[in-house]
Chains A and B, each alone.
Chain A
Amino acid sequence: MKLKQNRRTVPTETIIALIDVVFFLLVFFMLIGRMDATAPFEVTPPQAQTGRDMPTGGITLAISQSGRLALDGDALPKSEISPALAKALAKDPALRLRINAHRSADLRHVLPHVSLAEALGFLDVVLVVTPETSAGVGK
C-alpha cells in the first residue's frame, strides 16, 4: 500500500516580532527626544553639576564662541535680536528664553543678552548647561 505523504508545510517566518521591535524603537526615539532647532554653528554648552532639568517650551538663543547669534536655529545679526525677542514675547508673555552659549564664548557676548531679555520683560531666562564633562557638539 502506498501511503500518501503529507505535503510539508513551509514554515512561515513570523514578522510580527520584527514589527514589534521596530515599533518600540520608533516610539522610544520619538518619546525620549525633544525636537529642537539646532544652531547653524558649533555650540558646546558649559559644564555644571547643579543644573536643573530643562523643561520643554521656550525659544533658544544660541551664541557661538565668536559671538555669532541664532534664534531658534536661524542665524540673525545682533541688531535683529532685540526686535525678534520682543516679537516673540508679545505673542507669549510667559515665554522662556534659553541662552545656549558656547562654553568658551566671552561673557561680553553673553551677559548683555541677559540684560536685554530682562529689559524687554522676559521673566524666565535660563542658561543652558550640560552635566557631562565632555559634551558632544550641540550643533
Chain B
Amino acid sequence: MQLARRPRPQALISLVPMIDVMLILLVFFMVTSSYLNLDMIPALRPVDEAVSSDGSAQRRLMIRLDATGTPHLRTQALSSETLDHLLRHSLALDPKTQLMILPSGAAPTQALISLMDLAASTGVKNMRVLQLEARP
C-alpha cells in the first residue's frame, strides 16, 4: 500500500509585527513633529556681494528704526507706502542705492525684518544694518 505523503505547509512570514512597528513609528512622527514653514533672510553677505563692483559712488539712504519699530528718514516718520515710494524713487535714480538701517535696540525684531522685507520687495540689493550697541 502506498501512503500518500501530506504536502508540507508553506512557512508564512507573519506581517503583523511589521505593521505594528510601522504604525507605532507613524504615530510617533505625527505626534512629536511640529511642522513649520521656515524661510531665511541673509544677515551677513559676502563682502564682494555688498560692495559695488566698479567702486562708483553710491546713493545712500539712512533709515532709522525707533523703539516702537517705526521707520524714520531724518526726523520724519514714514508709513509703509511712503517708504516703498521713497525706495523705488531712490532705485530709479540709482539702482545701486545702499540702504542703511540704524535700528534702536528696543525695536522689535519684526520691525527690522519688515523693513528688510519691504526693501527687498522694491529691489534694494545693498542693505546694511548698523549698530550702536556694544557686543554682548
Binding site for B on A (CB under 8 A): 15, 18-19, 22-23, 25-26, 29-30, 32-33, 38, 45-55, 78, 81-82, 98-99, 101-108, 110-119, 122-132, 135-139
Q: How far is the CA of A45 from the CA of B109 in the complex (A)?
A: 9
Which of A29, A138, A139 is close to B26, meaning CB atoms less than 8 Å apart? A29
Q: Is the CB of A54 within 8 A of B38?
A: yes
Chain A residue numbers with a CB within 8 Å of B23 are 22
Chain A residue numbers with a CB within 8 Å of B103 are 107, 111
Chain A residue numbers with a CB within 8 Å of B121 are 49-50
Given contacts A50-B120, A113-B136, contact A118 B44 (CB under 8 A): yes
Binding site for A on B (CB under 8 A): 15, 18-19, 22-23, 25-26, 29-30, 33-44, 46, 65, 103-110, 112-114, 116-117, 120-121, 129, 131, 133-136
Chain B residue numbers with a CB within 8 Å of A113 are 136
A126 nearest CB neighbor, chain B only: B40
Interface centre among B108, B109, B110, B129 (most CB of A within 10 A): B109
A-B contact count (CB 8 A): 159
Q: How far is the CA of A55 from the CA of B33 in the complex (A)?
A: 19
Q: Is the CB of A108 within 8 A of B133?
A: yes
B26 nearest CB neighbor, chain A only: A26
B69 nearest CB neighbor, chain A only: A107
Q: How far is the CA of A93 from the CA of B126 in the complex (A)?
A: 25
Given contacts A19-B19, A19-B22, A26-B29, contact A111 B108 (CB under 8 A): no
Q: How far is the CA of A54 from the CA of B114 in the complex (A)?
A: 18
Q: Is the CB of B39 within 8 A of A51?
A: yes
Q: How far is the CA of A65 from the CA of B30 in the complex (A)?
A: 28
Chain A residue numbers with a CB within 8 Å of B136 are 78, 81-82, 112-113, 116
A98 to chain B, nearest CB (A): 7
Q: Is the CB of A107 within 8 A of B104?
A: yes
Q: Is the CB of A18 within 8 A of B41?
A: no
Which of B35, B110, B131 is close to A115, meaning CB atoms less than 8 Å apart? B131
Chain B residue numbers with a CB within 8 Å of A48 are 39, 41, 113-114, 116-117
Chain B residue numbers with a CB within 8 Å of A55 are 40
B50 to chain A, nearest CB (A): 12
Given contacts A48-B114, A49-B117, contact A108 B105 (CB under 8 A): yes
Which of B43, B108, B135 is close to A99, meaning CB atoms less than 8 Å apart? B43
Chain B residue numbers with a CB within 8 Å of A26 are 22, 25-26, 29
Q: Is the CB of A126 within 8 A of B110?
A: no
Q: How far is the CA of A69 from the CA of B108 in the complex (A)?
A: 16
